[in-house]
Chain A
Amino acid sequence: MSKYGICFAFIAFLFVSCSSTPEKPQVYTVEIKDMKFVPDDITVKRGDTIIWINRDMMAHDVTEEGEKLWSSSVIAPESSWKTEITGAANYFCSIHVVMKGKIRVQ
């Protein structure tokens, strides 16, 4: 391949790389059922959204465990709550304090 050909291929590669759209934020679901977060350990990217859906007959909530940086209000049965993930966190249900979950960020 001539040097012009290599140059053209390189420019074409740069063009394709730069014009590709950034990855779209994803939406993940965590079910609250049988007094557990399912899954109780989830890995997402910063900017993704997690929706917690309460499938139990009791009310629950989702609260950041360390500094209580964020918390849902009470999530009634068959209701849900969602938030955009800005960082990794350990969380729990502040109503049933032994129920715990983890969010990892890639």
Chain B
Amino acid sequence: MKMIKTLASSSMITLALSVVFTVTSLAQSPKLNDAEVASVAVTANQIDINYAAVAKTKSKNADILKFAETMSNDHKAVVAQAVALVTKLKVTPKDNAVSKKLMADAEKTKKSLLTKSGKAFDKAYIDNEVAYHKAVISAVEGLLIPSAKNAELKGLLEKVVPALKVHLSHAEMVQMNFK
């Protein structure tokens, strides 16, 4: 039993590290144009909305459910702002290597989360939220903001960073309950 727990824990750590590694390595990839930046921004937000939807169906923990509800509402608000901005700028978000890789990795993470239940699920979900927010903050600051040419798009990305950092602090606070 202890061995199973250790394996489950190490697989989630591997998964979390792979998220960090992927986005960090993506942050070193060539710069994106504004249509591609918009696509990555919307994809990254949509992924966390999807994780929250999984948590809302699988968890019974009040802190996890409250956190998931906040993630869902906040990231939907960001997506709405991004969609309004690209509509105004007449920019059509364009899929690219970064957004495709993010979505492919998120599907793997989602599948892994769906195999778990109870406290194991809660721990895996919140561990992933901590790792994912660290990775996304790194990507927004290191790739998306430097790549964005339009001032309003850059401004929106800069405005999202404090929210991502508050989400990370909140996730780390919830994570303390599952140590």
> Which A positions have Cβ atoms within 8 angstroms of B?
34-36, 56-59, 77, 95-99
Question: Contacts A35-B162, A95-B70, A96-B70; is A58 near B169 (CB within 8 Å)?
Answer: no
Q: Which residues of A contact B159 (CB under 8 A)?
A: 34, 57
What is the interface size of chain B, counting residues whose CB is below 8 A from a CB of the partner?
Answer: 15
- In the complex the two chains form, is B73's CB within 8 Å of A98's CB? no
- In the complex the two chains form, is A34's CB within 8 Å of B77's CB? no
Instruction: Decide if the interface of chain A is mainly helix, strand, loop or mixed.
Output: loop
- In the complex the two chains form, is A97's CB within 8 Å of B73's CB? no
Closest to A93 in B: B166
User: Of A77, A95, A98, which one neighbours B169 at CB under 8 angstroms?
Assistant: A98
Question: Contacts A34-B159, A35-B163; is A58 near B77 (CB within 8 Å)?
Answer: yes
Kindly list 12 other residue pairs between chains A and B, CB separation below 8 angstroms, not including A57-B81, A96-B167, A98-B166.
A34-B159, A35-B166, A36-B162, A56-B163, A57-B77, A57-B78, A57-B159, A59-B77, A77-B77, A95-B70, A95-B73, A98-B169
